[in-house]
Structure 1
Amino acid sequence: MADAVEAAIRSGRDPAPIIERAKRDLAARQERERQIADPPPLYGSARWPTSQDLRAYLRDRTAFDDPRSILLGAFSDEGQTIPPGFVHWDGDGHLLTIAPTRSGKGKTTIIPNLLRYQGSCVVLDPKGELFEATSQWRSKLGPVYRIAPLDGGSGKPVHRFDPVSRVRRESDARAIAMQMFPHDPKSPAFFADDAVGFVTAIIMFVRYKAPPHRQTLATVCQMASLKGASLLQIAKQMETFQPSADAARTILEKDPTRGLKVLQETLTSKLYEWKDVDIQRSVSGSDVSFESLKDRPATVYIEIPFDMMKTFSGWLRVLLKSALDAMLANPRIPELPVLFVLDEFLNIGPFPEYRDAIRTHAGAGIRLWFFLQDIYSIEEHYPGNSWRPFLNCAVKQFFGINDDDTAKMIGGYLGHKTHAVRTTGGSANVSSHLRDLYGDASTNTSFSMTEGVQFLGRPLLTSDEVRELLGGWQGDGWRYGITDIAGTRPFKTQLVVHEKSETCRQRIGMMMQGDDKWP
């Protein structure tokens, strides 16, 4: 520009137009640079939040013993190697972690929190590793119970729970019966309803008419398994007790060769797991009161081998539904919410009561923490859109993802961003003039260059990039996770195995038989 201004002045022309044009070019260039650095949200405004954005959740190492928060990993700003803080969530609502089996859920997430959370906990522990790693420290907070019907004489403490002990009304009895006879879409509902009604009546009869030492679910199962004349004799006794009279009368009026036979077949097909000797022993009395978990800190581990969860899913449903109902039966809101850690939750099978509890138990003083494998497995048990209520959890955490469907869902949560690309265009113009056949010729050539900015939309992370980020371990005992807390942008975290924490190493340990004595 300086040369052009100087030439204009030497030739006596006004240089102002040249200067004005240069100013406009400079302003246009600066605007292009601004748009490239911070493009307008034409296709989306997704970005990774900064530590400033997440300041309400970030704490230093001294917050490890915050009695009520959930620790969700470490956070670093993009490009930084030293974590500025650890993510602590202490809000209302529930949590959902989606991570496949053997992705380190226990070591990076569950165990560290059980070694620090000071409220009551109900822990679904299919592998038994959570009890072995955390029960010793948790026993210092209050009573620890281990309901493990298939223990097999390990020497670890074993406790019983009888759901009949908390029956107060017919609706309580029916809730137990419905879990024992869950709806089977492949079978006529009539037969299951008939069995539910009869078992409900037996539960009421046992609860209020049996001798005290026989008022258990074990007795209920024994009575419901009777055949022929023995079953009719029990029905006659039940007919004298008003709460069970109608159901008993229905049994007595059935055709022995048809209606009664079908009922007995239905009862037999559903009660097989309840006739197991170990299951009978586990429901022969109650050492645990789930209602009391709101009154003082206590921990209940529910342990059954992973490969037996489906076989004994009825027992698990009855136990877990009793624990859930107890949270409403005791209206007290504890200072520290009761935490339900539901590892391998999908292996129980469809359990809509827990899915619905995300809504029905809001404000009940509990936190449900679901651990699910992937979207395909969720949809298998909750078809159509029936699985979507799980996404209403206040906290959603993802790691270990290696399937495309789940990766696409995560990409959808992350959203799209607008990407700015610098564009350059050029043009040339050549003109020639010939005066006559023998005269002089002239040629004029001009070039022009234009710069611009093009805006494109793209996901913050594609499904391939999600799987690359979350699929594997990054180094010595740590991996990336993505966490979405309601009201914030999703963010990346670093999840570290508990063995890397000195505090966790000091607290690791198992309570043994004889240690379960509390005032």
Structure 2
Amino acid sequence: MARSSKKRFGIGSLIATILGMLAAFYVANRASEHTRTSLAEGARIGDLLETFPGFILGDAWSVSTEQLDLIIGGAAAGLVMLIVLYAYGANRNTRPGEEQGSAAWGSPRDLSRYRDKSPGRELTFTATEALSVDTRKTRRNLNVLCLGASGTGKTRSYVLPNLTKLDASTAVTDPKGEIMRATEAGLRARGNQVRALNLIDLKNSARYNPFWYFNPEEPETSIAQLAECIIANTSGKDSKGDAFWERAERALLTALIAMEWTGAPYDQEEAPHPTLPGVLDIHKGMGGSEENKDQRDSPTDILFAAARDAIELWQEDPTQFRDEDQDRMKVLDYACRQYRLYEQGPVETRLSVVISLGVRLAPLDMHDVRQILSGDDMAIDRLGFEKTTLFVQIPDTHATFRFIAAMFWQSVFEHTVYQADHEEGGQLPIMVHAFLDEFANIGMIPQFERVIATIRSRGISASIIVQSHSQGKAMFRDDWETIEGNCDTILFLGGNELSTKEWMSKQLGNETITMQETSQTYGMNGSWSKNTRTVKRLLMEPDEVGRLDNDYAILMIRGMRPFMSRKTAA
């Protein structure tokens, strides 16, 4: 790191100056005394220097009070003072060679102290740079922002090399299913458990049930987050309609999810495990009549009416319910209160909300999707406790099941954080790293800007992989700066999108270069001159970033000079 060359005159400098002046006075005073007395005794000038040490040692604590000796000693002390004043007075805040900027390229040696002897304990970025997963050693988090246009090797030169050697639990977004095909055999050979949520070929997918990963201590929070995730990822990309309808649908969906979580009907001894298809079935039981606006006789209305009766009994005397049912009754009360918000609207509005929510949930009614969501084989709860690799295979030709992928990632982060918080030391036994490939196509993970800022201490990290800087900005708007700010590593693999090039260029910073200017005039009194001065220049101009060789990548790690190195070979 560049430092200023300007020195400060503090107390230490003052004491040193005074001691220096006293020493100069003493030496000059004694030298004057020795010279004066020796010459008076007839000594030769050439012998004065040789006899001076003996003269001093003969009476070390003596100081001459002769006027001439005092004057010479004072002059020596004054000379020291003038030298110090000149040194500090003439000193300027100069940084030779860095006047306009200190940006420069780093070398692999700069990163050597942050490496690990075991390849499985490193996150690899380029052919020559990697970072130890020991965050206490590096004092940097393992969150990575990887930028690269299509064809620059995001999967080939970053995801695959790390996935095949990293000793960790991993979860991976797998567009088109190519990553799993390339790594499954090797992962199993290394002892990893491999499971896939296949949203491309639904018949070959493991099952996934988000209800299994609710926070058992705060189920209402998990219910609200699941409802938010579904609403956020089933709204149109440019949806700018009345927010009332979206809020009404969210309240209704929250009520239905909460009702399903309680295991309705409420009086069952052993309630079935809740599922999203069950939520859809409760929704299908809704209805209404425009002729009779007070009619409340649909199966779902009857279900909630019975739930309210049970809530009244519970509130009157909670002891008549089993201890294990207390949390269930709280969530049932929450479901009824959210359903009441929906019921407050006129019948026409309620019918519109029901229909609109039904459209959102339509993909859940597909036979294969219902089968996937009917149980759980993904075992997200094993992440961090055994070497596991979970794939989320998403189609790249449509976004029909994007909300399912978003729900999965929400479950991953929510549940691993919960488990880490309940481990001694607050950290998972095995590091968990999420490779969020095609991050812009997996939907909105609720509160992701908060997640990315808090997972480091729990032994969890993520690689956010996008095609351009503008993709993230479009998704998260102002929160995108928070997300990128919580990534201590930025890996740029290439691209030609203007805002990405400009952003990368600014991130690299300015360097100082020497510019020579020549001037020549012709004629009878012609002249020629040459001037040299320092000027500021971006380490890489935006157009130079766009022309980055396809075999090279730019790596930036917080607190270090940037690296330009060859990409990792898959």
TM-score (norm 2): 0.67
Question: Do residues 220 (structure 1) and 258 (structure 2) align?
Answer: no
Distance in 1, matches of 2:339 and 2:202, equals: 42
Q: Which residue of 2 aligns with 1:189?
A: 243
Contact 1:149-1:278 at 8 Å conserved across structures: no
1:170-189 alignment, distance < 5 Å: 170-182=220-232, 186-189=240-243
Greater Rg by CA: 2
Q: Which residue of 1 aligns with 2:562?
A: 490
AA aligned opposite 1:100: A
AA aligned opposite 1:226: G
Pair 459,257 (structure 1): closer, same or farther in 2 beyond 3 Å: same
Pair 253,492 (structure 1): closer, same or farther in 2 beyond 3 Å: closer
Question: Do residues 286 (structure 1) and 376 (structure 2) align?
Answer: yes
Pair 238,248 (structure 1): closer, same or farther in 2 beyond 3 Å: farther
Q: Which of 362, 365, 377 is matched with 2:459 structurally? A: 365
AA aligned opposite 1:105: K
Q: Which residue of 2 aligns with 1:94?
A: 143
Distance in 1, matches of 2:494 and 2:545, equals: 10
Q: Which residue of 1 aligns with 2:156?
A: 107
1:128-277 alignment, distance < 5 Å: 128-139=177-188, 140-153=190-203, 158-167=205-214, 168=216, 169-182=219-232, 186-210=240-264, 212-228=271-287, 229-239=298-308, 240=310, 242=329, 243-245=331-333, 246-247=336-337, 250=340, 253-254=343-344, 257-277=347-367
- 1:300 CA drift (Å): 0.9
Q: Which of 413, 422, 426 is matched with 1:324 structurally? A: 413
Q: Which residue of 2 aligns with 1:415?
A: 509
Deviates further, 245-254 or 385-394 = 245-254
Q: Any unmatched runs of 5+ in structure 1? A: 1-37, 76-85, 431-444, 473-478, 499-519
User: What secondary structure is seen at the aligned counterpart in 2 of 1:340?
Assistant: strand
1:13-162 alignment, distance < 5 Å: 40-57=97-114, 63=117, 66-75=119-128, 86-90=129-133, 91=135, 92-139=141-188, 140-153=190-203, 158-162=205-209
User: What secondary structure is seen at the aligned counterpart in 1 of 2:567?
Assistant: strand
- Higher strand residue share: 1
TM-score (norm 1): 0.74
Pair 423,273 (structure 1): closer, same or farther in 2 beyond 3 Å: same
Question: Do residues 480 (structure 1) and 552 (structure 2) align?
Answer: yes
1:160-209 superposed Cα distances (whole Å, 9 cap, x missing partner): 11111233321121211111122856233333333333333333332333
1:335-484 alignment, distance < 5 Å: 335-351=429-445, 353-383=447-477, 385-392=478-485, 393-423=487-517, 452-470=531-549, 472=550, 479-484=551-556
Q: Which residue of 2 aligns with 1:12?
A: none
Q: Which residue of 1 aligns with 2:12?
A: none
Pair 424,182 (structure 1): closer, same or farther in 2 beyond 3 Å: closer
Contact 1:48-1:491 at 8 Å conserved across structures: yes
User: What secondary structure is seen at the aligned counterpart in 1 of 2:261?
Assistant: helix
Q: How many residues align?
A: 420
- 1:373 CA drift (Å): 0.8
Q: Which residue of 2 aligns with 1:436?
A: none
1:427-456 superposed Cα distances (whole Å, 9 cap, x missing partner): 9999xxxxxxxxxxxxxx9x9976542222
User: Once superposed, which parts of structure 1, at least 4 consecutive aligned residues long, lie more than 4 Å away?
Assistant: 210-214, 251-256, 423-430, 447-452
Deviates further, 49-58 or 487-496 = 49-58
- 1:371 CA drift (Å): 0.4
Distance in 2, matches of 1:377 and 1:160, equals: 30
- 1:312 CA drift (Å): 1.6
AA aligned opposite 1:366: I
Contact 1:47-1:417 at 8 Å conserved across structures: yes
Contact 2:146-2:490 at 8 Å conserved across structures: yes
- 1:119 CA drift (Å): 0.5
Pair 126,355 (structure 1): closer, same or farther in 2 beyond 3 Å: farther
Pair 114,244 (structure 1): closer, same or farther in 2 beyond 3 Å: same
Pair 413,356 (structure 1): closer, same or farther in 2 beyond 3 Å: same
AA aligned opposite 1:232: D
Distance in 1, matches of 2:157 and 2:113, equals: 22
Distance in 2, matches of 1:101 and 1:429, equals: 59
- 1:129 CA drift (Å): 0.9
Contact 1:235-1:252 at 8 Å conserved across structures: no
Pair 89,410 (structure 1): closer, same or farther in 2 beyond 3 Å: farther
Pair 426,179 (structure 1): closer, same or farther in 2 beyond 3 Å: closer
Contact 2:160-2:183 at 8 Å conserved across structures: yes
- 1:130 CA drift (Å): 1.1
User: What secondary structure is seen at the aligned counterpart in 1 of 2:127?
Assistant: strand
Distance in 2, matches of 1:130 and 1:88, equals: 23
Q: Which residue of 2 aligns with 1:35?
A: none
Q: Which residue of 2 aligns with 1:509?
A: none
Q: Which residue of 2 aligns with 1:437?
A: none
Pair 426,105 (structure 1): closer, same or farther in 2 beyond 3 Å: closer
User: What secondary structure is seen at the aligned counterpart in 2 of 1:44?
Assistant: coil
Deviates further, 126-135 or 265-274 = 265-274
- 1:282 CA drift (Å): 1.1
User: What secondary structure is seen at the aligned counterpart in 2 of 1:492?
Assistant: strand
Q: Any unmatched runs of 5+ in structure 2? A: 1-94, 136-140, 265-269, 288-297, 312-328
Contact 1:97-1:370 at 8 Å conserved across structures: yes
Pair 313,425 (structure 1): closer, same or farther in 2 beyond 3 Å: closer
AA aligned opposite 1:453: T
Pair 188,423 (structure 1): closer, same or farther in 2 beyond 3 Å: closer
Distance in 2, matches of 1:226 and 1:340, equals: 39
Distance in 1, matches of 2:520 and 2:258, equals: 89
RMSD over equivalenced CA pairs, Å: 2.9
Pair 248,175 (structure 1): closer, same or farther in 2 beyond 3 Å: closer
- Higher helix residue share: 2
AA aligned opposite 1:233: I
Pair 448,234 (structure 1): closer, same or farther in 2 beyond 3 Å: same
Pair 152,196 (structure 1): closer, same or farther in 2 beyond 3 Å: closer
- 1:386 CA drift (Å): 3.0
Pair 39,256 (structure 1): closer, same or farther in 2 beyond 3 Å: closer
User: What secondary structure is seen at the aligned counterpart in 1 of 2:108?
Assistant: coil
Distance in 1, matches of 2:396 and 2:299, equals: 37
User: What secondary structure is seen at the aligned counterpart in 2 of 1:250?
Assistant: helix
Contact 2:197-2:393 at 8 Å conserved across structures: yes
Deviates further, 400-409 or 417-426 = 417-426
